[in-house]
Homo-oligomer: A and B are copies of this chain.
């Protein structure tokens, strides 16, 4: 799993129906910005654990959900490397 920092929510009004109304967050993974489905309810600035690969689908709620990156936990304490 990746250790990412939550930057801000992402709004995409025009989206496929399968994404439903789940919250999407822009997260920073080192120098890259990625989009993750928020399964825990986090806020900007949180350090979070993001799961990828096929595990991201079930972590987002059910195995047909089209996610490849899902926030599965908020890290209690983290010092940037």
Contact = CB atoms under 8 A, between A and B. Distances in A.
A6 interface: no
Interface in A22-76: 24, 26, 30, 32-36, 39-40, 49, 51-59, 64-70, 72-76
Contacts of A73: 12, 14-16, 19
Interface residues of A, number: 46
Given A74-B12, A75-B12, A52 B68 contact: yes
A49 B35 contact: yes
Interface of A: 1-3, 10-16, 18-19, 24, 26, 30, 32-36, 39-40, 49, 51-59, 64-70, 72-77, 81
